[in-house]
Amino acid sequence: MVMKIALAGNPNSGKTTLFNVLTGANQSVGNWPGVTVEKKEGVLRGHKDVKIADLPGIYSLAPYSPEERIARNYLLDERPDAIINIIDGSNLERNLYLTTQLAELGIPMVAAVNMIDVVKKRGETIDCAVLSKKLGMPAVEISALKNSGIEELVIAALGAAEKRVSGEVKKIFGRAVESALAEIEASFAGEVPSCEKRWYAIKLFEGDPQAAESFKNNKGALAAAKEVRERCEAEFDDDAESIVTGERYGYIASMIHEAHKKQGENLLTVT
Ligand code: BGO
């Protein structure tokens, strides 16, 4: 059986470099349907039954730019067996924003922390065990340019794809937002597969237009989401999308605080 793995990440995270390392000459290039955005697919070296789809470089899974829509629709509609999320380790905060969103899709996933050569050259370290625990997925340090960590990454990605179920999606928001999301999830009844519930609860809470469109026949869920959203917006005196973004960055800051050490930090001084 053919397995599908999607490669997702920010622009300039090293996605093309990694795609080339993973697939070698086994690539085909076309366009995504209806748009002039390049679509690259390839076969994983040494694994002829594993296809790698290179998604456009994106900063978030909002449905606003063509690149975001392509990546998001591919992941939602095709539900690949796994996602490799390439993260520029020298730009953790910005890159982890997308990572936390991808994790909500309920698709098995591996974080590939790239540019580790740059990180090390700066005298910094990234603790992948901490990232892995906080993200609820394997995290592997790599340098796509120097071809290091690739074997470990492939093993982790194939392992995730074979399991077919994602790890438990971490509850990264504060108590009020988490309880709002639980209320929205409860309104789905049996209509949404359990691995997709959190994604749709967050999107409906945010008032995401594309998610609302896919729930147009489920008026109960839309009404529940609206009621919960309005209540939270009044409580926070802010709009739902900003509340979610703010709390997402809060969680990312706590992850980085634990996982990213700069030169001279946390060294014991003996007097
Ligand atoms: C240029 N380490 C280092 N040091 N650099 C890396 C790594 C890594 O692990 N991985 C990728 N790069 P893309 P997207 C460049 O092209 O794969 C570099 O957008 C240059 N080019 O070599 O294109 C990679 O597909 C001139 O750098 O990313 C590339 O995600 C001077 O990161 C850049 C310096 O990689 C982006 C760099 C003419």
90 and 116 Cβ atoms separated by less than 8 Å:
no
Q: Is 115 in the pocket of ligand 1 (CB under 6 A)?
A: yes
pLDDT digits (tens, 9 = 90+) for 104-148: 999 999 999 999 999 999 999 999 999 999 999 999 999 999 999
Q: Which domains does the chain possess?
A: 3-163 (3.40.50.300), 175-254 (1.10.287.1770)
pLDDT digits (tens, 9 = 90+) for 185-216: 999 978 899 999 999 999 999 999 999 999 99
Q: How far is the C-alpha of 155 from the C-alpha of 169, rounded, in Å?
A: 21
Output the CA 13–ligand 1 centroid distance in Å.
Answer: 7
* Residue 266: predicted pLDDT: 57
Output the CA 252–ligand 1 centroid distance in Å.
Answer: 24
127 and 259 Cβ atoms separated by less than 8 Å:
yes
* Residue 271: predicted pLDDT: 47
* Residue 268: predicted pLDDT: 54
Nearest CA to ligand 1 atom 17: 14
Q: Please, what's the b/e burial string for 85-105 (b: 16 or more CB within 10 A of its CB; e: otherwise)?
A: bbbbbbebeebbbbbbbbbbb
Please, is 4 exposed, middle or buried when counting C-beta atoms within 10 Å of its C-beta (0-12, 13-18, 19+)?
middle
Low-confidence ranges of the chain (pLDDT < 50): 269, 271
